[in-house]
Structure formats: structure tokens, C-alpha cells
């Protein structure tokens, strides 16, 4: 099923022409912004130097810190009267990042979400519960308008009041849900405690945090649905940058809207096709907030084999963010790797937390792991065995020693939005 068959299956040569045309337009748009006038001057490039798509490598990167420095409206390329909506990113450190949208930006964003939903077989007959934050977070309104565009029946349930969410799924016969994967697990847990099986649910769309294949297995088993990965970031409208099709082996990136590159995040060099590195995106249609070579901080690779669905090049499921990446005694560790190991172990329950400390100049990683109810009723010597087994599994997957503490089911924090499972206490007094 296609929402926009012509664009979704565009031939590579035609796509390249379109991308180049749109890239040139985007550069003209960027020249309206003081930051880019200065960056182009400093890099000694002018938009006229860009004659082929490969010339994009001559252009400077854009960093999240520069968006923050432009707070609030410094990076807008259009006057404020043309901006019809504002979103901001969470801003856990310092000022948030402000994203503005023109009417055309909102239209384009809905188009992308409509493609995503249609691609996995959703449409007018579906009842869709959008269980994410409806405020400044882009996941709420982004999915809302895309779902309405294709005629789904949308329930803007937002987050919170989990028991009520479960009643709505049951009473309204909800067929598709969108939330974070960690909230989905919480939903499953509460539904089980209420004795609800949520039989109508068929499709789960999970995004806003990186999640593993083992998490998929668990979500599908607990909620009895098919789980799809959604990728996006507020700086690029929001969700809708890439999405899994029915094949669920990588996410289709919408190349008519986004020019993607994979670079070495240390050197900034572009990597060879198929290599894993940091995803850099130049959005090609953004009016209000054009961005050139935006450093997403997300780690993935481009997948070149043809997909059975007939759409274009995919990216691999995001395995982590460069800035989520922990460096423990010189070894790179992504929280999603830890999750992947833990979800494969039947003794391990819903949640975990990771604590990193520096003890006598050495990094120490400690993980608190909830057990399953069955696991926790075991004897003390059994607990010691399980603890040792988990530590062993983590050591062989991560290459570092961790201390593991088993805790009671339900004792660790639950997250309605993005999960914050890592507490890095190094450098904090």
C-alpha cells in the first residue's frame, strides 16, 4: 500500500535530480539565516559552488549547540508572521531548541506520516490511539495530523492515566497505538494486572527512543501486535524521517525530503557505503528552519539491497546515539546493547537502570535489574547464581565487567515519555 506511489518508488536517477534541485533551493533558503551566511563565509563556500550532490561535502556541518545558541528564533529563514506553529525539544541541558513551521512545512510533515502509516497497511478502518505527549513534543501533533490525513479515527489520548488508556483501547476497539517502547511495556504490565488482553490491538508504532530487536520480541509477545520502528527528530519536523515497512528489516528514509550521509563522528569524514557511523541529514524542503548537514548524533548505516516493498534505500534500525554512548574504561557502550542482552534473559523483568561512577580514577558500571515475579520468589543462592549469570552475559556482549544488582519487580522508575535509564555520575560531586 502506498500513500504517494510516484515519490515512494522514484527511480534513483530521477531522485538524484530532484535532490539536487531541492538542495540548491535549501541553500538559498539557508542564506536568509545569519548563522549560515557566516558559516558559508568561514568555510569559503557559496551555494553556487554546489553543482552535484557530492559537492554537499564542501558544506559545513550544523550542530545542535548552534540551534540552542540561536534561541529562540535566530535560525528562522522566514518572518515570524509566516510561522504557524512552534515546537521545542526537551532541553534537558540548557535552553531548549526551538523549531518553527510554515503552512507548507506542516503539510509536508503530515505527508510523511501519512506515507509511514499507509506503508504498514493502516487506513480509514483503523482506530488509532496516540499515547504520546501532545505538548511541545513533536510526536503528538505530528502523528495526529498524519493519521487524520489518511482518515484513521484518531484518539488523542496523550500520556498518563494508564488504566484509562487501557479501558479506551478495549472500549473503543483500538487497532493501532503509538507510544514510546518503554511506555508500551508499562501498558502491557498494567493491562496484565487488570486482566485485560487488548485483543483488538494489531499494530504498535514505537519511537522517540532507541530499542532493540529483543524489545520487539517482548512487545509483540506481551501486547500481541506487530511492532514497527519510527524514526525522526524535532529539528527535521519531528517523527517521519524514516519508518519500517512490512518487511521490518531497516527503515525507509524519505530521500525526496532528506539527504542522508553517514560520517565518522570523530573525524567528520564521509564513510564508505554500508559502514556504520553518525547519520547526518540535510532536509530538502524546510522553509522555516532550513538546516545544512545536521549532525543527528544517531548511529546507523545505509542499507542498499532492494526491499520487497519497492521503496528506496533504508537505514538500519538506530542502535544508539553518539551522545547516549557511554565510554567506560575506553570502551563504547550503548544503553540499547545492555537492553538487548537483558531482554534475552527470561529471569529479567521489565526495567533496568544503569549507573556509572568513577571510583579511584576508574569507571565502574552498576546495573540494577528488575526480576520477573517468578524469578524473585527464588532462594538466596539462586539469586546469586542469576546475578552472576547476568553479569557474565553482559561482560561477553559489552567487553567490560559490570556489577549487577537484582531488585523486586515494580521497584524501578517507569517512564511515560523517553526513558532515562542511564545515570552518569562521573564528574558530579
Residues near Zn ion (CB under 5 A): 245, 247, 307, 309, 311
Q: Is 216 or 311 the residue whose CB approaches Zn ion more closely?
A: 311
Q: Is 252 or 295 the residue whose CB approaches Zn ion more closely?
A: 252
Question: Least Å distance between CB 310 and Zn ion?
Answer: 7
Question: Least Å distance between CB 277 and Zn ion?
Answer: 23
Q: Are 23 and 259 in contact (CB under 8 A)?
A: yes
Q: Are 207 and 259 in contact (CB under 8 A)?
A: no
Q: Is 14 or 247 the residue whose CB approaches Zn ion more closely?
A: 247
Spatial distance between the Cα atoms of 300 and 355, rounded to a whole number of angstroms: 25
Question: Least Å distance between CB 71 and Zn ion?
Answer: 38
Three-state SS for the chain is: CCCCHHHHCCCHHHHHHHHHHHHHHHHHHHCCCHHHHHHHHHHCCCHHHCCCHHHHHHCCCECHHHHHHCCCCCCCCCCHHHCCEEEECCCCCCCCCEEEECHHHHHHHHHHHHHHHHHCCCCCCCEEEECCCCCCCHHHHHHHHHHHHCCCEEECCCCCCHHHHHHHHHHHCCCEEEECHHHHHHHHHHHHHHCCCCCCCCEEEEECCCCCHHHHHHHHHHHCCEEEEEEEEHHHCEEEEEEECCCCCCEEECCCCEEEEEECCCCCCECCCCCCEEEEEEECCCCCCCCCCEEEEEEECEECCCCCCCCCCEECCCCEECCCCEEECCEEECHHHHHHHHHCCCCEEEEEEEEEEEECCEEEEEEEEEECHHHHCCCHHHHHHHHHHHHHHHHHHHCCCCEEEEECCCCCCCCCCCCCCEEECCCCC
Q: Are 1 and 241 in contact (CB under 8 A)?
A: no
Q: Is 144 or 311 the residue whose CB approaches Zn ion more closely?
A: 311
Question: Least Å distance between CB 279 and Zn ion?
Answer: 18
Q: Is 122 or 422 the residue whose CB approaches Zn ion more closely?
A: 122
Q: Is 247 or 323 the residue whose CB approaches Zn ion more closely?
A: 247
Question: Least Å distance between CB 350 and Zn ion?
Answer: 31
Q: Is 198 or 245 the residue whose CB approaches Zn ion more closely?
A: 245
Question: Least Å distance between CB 216 and Zn ion?
Answer: 16
Q: Is 119 or 208 the residue whose CB approaches Zn ion more closely?
A: 119
For residue 257, the tally of other CB atoms under 10 A from its CB is 23
β-strand partners of 86: 100
Q: Is 1 or 194 the residue whose CB approaches Zn ion more closely?
A: 1
Q: Is 64 or 248 the residue whose CB approaches Zn ion more closely?
A: 248
Question: Least Å distance between CB 203 and Zn ion?
Answer: 16
The three three-digit cell numbers of residue 78, written as one number:
522566514
Question: Least Å distance between CB 3 and Zn ion?
Answer: 14
Question: Least Å distance between CB 308 and Zn ion?
Answer: 6
Question: Least Å distance between CB 229 and Zn ion?
Answer: 12
Amino acid at each position: 500500500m502506498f500513500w504517494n506511489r510516484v515519490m515512494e518508488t522514484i527511480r534513483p536517477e530521477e531522485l538524484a535530480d530532484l535532490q539536487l534541485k531541492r538542495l540548491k533551493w535549501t541553500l538559498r533558503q539557508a542564506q536568509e539565516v545569519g548563522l549560515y551566511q557566516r558559516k558559508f563565509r568561514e568555510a569559503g563556500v557559496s551555494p553556487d559552488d554546489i553543482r552535484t550532490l557530492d559537492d554537499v561535502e564542501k558544506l559545513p556541518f550544523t550542530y545542535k549547540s548552534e540551534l540552542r545558541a540561536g534561541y529562540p528564533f535566530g535560525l528562522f529563514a522566514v518572518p515570524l508572521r509566516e510561522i504557524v506553529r512552534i515546537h521545542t525539544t526537551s532541553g534537558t541541558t540548557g535552553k531548549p531548541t526551538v523549531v518553527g513551521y510554515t503552512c507548507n512545512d506542516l503539510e509536508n510533515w503530515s505527508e510523511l506520516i501519512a506515507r509511514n502509516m499507509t506503508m504498514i497497511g493502516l487506513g480509514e478502518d483503523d482506530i488509532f490511539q496516540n499515547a504520546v505527549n501532545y505538548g511541545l513534543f513533536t510526536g503528538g501533533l505530528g502523528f495526529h495530523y498524519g493519521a487524520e490525513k489518511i482518515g484513521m479515527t484518531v484518539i488523542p489520548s496523550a500520556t498518563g492515566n494508564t488504566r484509562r488508556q487501557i479501558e479506551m483501547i478495549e472500549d473503543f476497539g483500538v487497532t493501532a497505538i503509538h507510544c514510546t517502547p518503554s511506555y508500551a511495556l508499562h501498558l502491557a504490565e498494567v493491562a496484565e494486572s487488570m486482566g485485560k488482553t487488548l485483543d483488538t490491538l494489531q499494530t504498535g508504532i514505537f519511537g522517540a527512543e532507541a530499542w532493540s530487536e529483543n524489545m520487539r520480541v517482548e512487545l509483540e509477545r506481551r501486547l500481541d501486535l506487530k511492532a514497527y520502528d519510527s524514526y525522526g527528530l524535532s529539528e527535521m519536523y519531528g517523527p517521519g524521517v524514516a519508518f519500517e515497512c512490512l518487511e521490518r528489516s531497516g527503515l525507509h528514509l524519505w530521500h525526496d525530503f532528506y539527504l542522508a550521509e553517514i560520517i565518522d563522528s570523530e573525524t567528520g569524514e564521509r564513510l564508505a557505503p554500508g559502514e556504520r557511523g553518525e547519520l547526518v541529514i540535510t532536509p530538502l524542503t524546510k522553509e522555516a528552519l532550513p538546516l545544512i548537514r545536521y549532525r543527528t548524533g544517531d548511529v546507523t548505516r545505509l542499507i542498499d539491497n532492494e526491499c520487497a516493498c519497492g521503496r528506496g534505500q533504508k537505514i538500519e534500525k538506530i542502535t544508539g546515539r553518539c551522545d547516549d554512548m557511554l565510554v567506560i574504561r575506553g570502551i563504547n557502550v550503548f544503553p540499547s546493547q545492555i537492553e538487548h542482552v537483558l531482554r534475552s534473559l527470561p529471569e529479567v523483568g521489565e526495567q533496568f537502570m544503569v549507573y556509572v561512577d568513577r571510583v579511584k580514577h576508574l569507571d565502574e558500571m552498576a546495573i540494577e535489574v528488575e526480576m520477573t515475579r517468578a524469578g524473585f520468589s527464588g532462594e538466596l543462592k539462586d539469586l546469586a547464581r542469576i546475578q552472576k549469570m547476568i553479569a557474565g552475559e553482559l561482560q561477553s556482549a559489552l567487553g567490560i565487567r559490570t556489577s549487577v544488582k537484582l531488585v523486586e519487580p515494580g521497584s524501578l522508575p517507569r517512564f511515560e515519555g523517553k526513558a532515562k535509564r542511564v545515570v552518569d555520575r562521573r564528574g558530579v560531586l
